[in-house]
Amino acid sequence: AHRAELANSVGADLVVSLHCDAATSAAAAGIATFHFGAENGGWSHAGERAAQRIHAAVLERTGAADCQVHGRTWDILRMTRMPAVRVEIGYLTSPIEAAKLVDAEYQELLAAGIAAGIVKFFAPA
C-alpha cells in the first residue's frame, strides 16, 4: 500500500515492481508478470497491455521460461491511479535462476527487456 501511495503522490505514469520469487521446488523457474485484475470485478486494461508488452520483451531477451501474464488484486496493482505491473524475474529457490539473477549480464538483459516493453507500451498506436 505504501508503494502505491508513493506512486500516486509523485504522479507516475506507470509503476513497474520487480520481485524475485521462491517456491518449495528447486525446479520452479521462469518469469511471470502481473497486472490488476479480478475474476469477479475490476480489471486494468492498460495495466494488462503494459504487462503483456513488458513480459514479451523480457522473455525475448532472456529466453526464460514463460510463466504467463496474470491478473491479481495485490495492493501495488489495485491501489495505484496509473497502470501497475509486477514482474517476477525468477526464482531464488532455483540454483540455476539464482545464479542468473546475480549475473550482471543477465541483469542487463532483464533491464533491457523491461525498458523495451515500457517503450512499446507508451508508443503511439
pLDDT of residue 40: 84
Interaxial angle between packed helices 45-62 and 104-122, expressed in degrees from 0 to 180 and rounded to the nearest 10:
140
Segment-wise mean pLDDT, segments of 10 residues, the chain, 125 residues: 94 96 95 94 94 98 97 96 97 96 98 98 91
pLDDT of residue 12: 93
Position of cell 533491464? 111
Long-range contacts of residues 92-97, Cβ cutoff 8 Å, at least 24 apart: 92/20, 92/21, 92/22, 93/21, 93/22, 93/23, 93/24, 93/25, 93/26, 93/28, 94/23, 94/26, 94/27, 94/28, 94/29, 95/26, 96/29, 97/29
Position of cell 524475474? 89
pLDDT of residue 29: 96
